[in-house]
Amino acid sequence: MAERAIVTLADPDALARHVADWLTGLANAATGRFCIALSGGSTPKRLFEILAEPANAARFPWSRTHLFWGDERFVPYDHPDSNYRMARLALLDHVPVPPDNVHPMPVSGDPAAAARDYQAVLQAYYGAESLDMTRPLFDLVLLGLGENGHTASLFPGTASLAESLAWVAPVTENVPQPRLTLTYPAIACSKFVAFLVAGAGKARVLRLVLDGDRSQPAARITSAGEMMWFTDEAAVT
């Protein structure tokens, strides 16, 4: 099991600023390409905004950073619900990341075919068709935590929870819009997995997940490297 560390900050802004500094340190310490799987949600949005601040953006190695997504709603990129749109407005429009280094999930056609297409993109980046836990796909996977225990788009009662081979899965049941999500194996093939959890509304589910309640999809997340939990005080009271 991956090592686990829990860091608690005063509030969501302090959490986001701490993670921005931590993430910048990871990126600058890495040699060669640095690969992140981004998350949606309000806490990652604040993180992205902080990374985009001129002083912070200037010290981040954008030229060798590759950005993927942990999940996405099957909506156009300019739709208000799009995780890509959120990241573009909060971060990508403000930093010099090369366009070829930005890899959004496909959101048109058939969700199952789109999942296969995105897996092919990941495989091309990784240079192999199967995962090797001794050679991480991602340097960092950013994740949130839903009040129903979901993370990425790994929702309770969905087929994606049982996926053990595919790197990307469609999610079409029990959700208002079809989605794509990274699977447990793809997330696990990482140097770091970092959960960002803020707010009193997450306190109950956070306790369940940290206690290892496997009925909560987030509790089944593992990493070949380290698991980080960044929380605010409200989420741990």
The pLDDT value given to residue 49: 98
Could you tell me which of 173, 233, 232, 212 has the C-alpha nearest to residue 1?
Answer: 212
How far, CA to CA in Å, does 137 sit from each of 23, 95, 212, 229?
17, 23, 25, 20
User: Is the distance from CB of 1 to CB of 225 less than 8 angstroms?
Assistant: no
Low-confidence residues of the chain: pLDDT under 70: 1-2
Could you tell me which of 137, 170, 153, 173 has the C-alpha nearest to residue 221?
Answer: 153
Q: What is the CATH number of the domain that holds 95?
A: 3.40.50.1360
The pLDDT value given to residue 37: 98
Give one word for 174, left, alpha or beta, with left for phi > 0 and alpha for psi -120 to 50: left
CA distance 131 to 135: 8
The pLDDT value given to residue 2: 65
CA neighbours closer than 13 Å in the CB half-sphere of residue 226? 9
Residue 212 domain boundaries: 3-236
The pLDDT value given to residue 175: 87
Question: DSSP readout, the chain?
Answer: --EEEEEEESSHHHHHHHHHHHHHHHHHHS-S-EEEEE--SHHHHHHHHHHHSHHHHTTS-GGGEEEEESEEESS-TTSTT-HHHHHHHHTGGGS---GGGB-PPP-SS-HHHHHHHHHHHHHHHHTSSS--TTS-SEEEEEE---TTS-BTTB-TT-GGGG-SS-SEEEE-SSSSS-EEEE-HHHHHSEEEEEEEE-SGGGHHHHHHHHTT-TTSGGGG---SSEEEEEEEGGGG-
Phi, psi of 42 (to 5 degrees): -70, -35
User: Is the distance from CB of 191 to CB of 138 less than 8 angstroms?
Assistant: yes
User: Is the distance from CB of 24 to CB of 58 less than 8 angstroms?
Assistant: no
Domain count, the chain: 1
Token pair, residue 213, equals 């309640």
Instruction: Name 134's Cβ contacts closer than 8 Å, sequence gap at least 6.
Output: 224
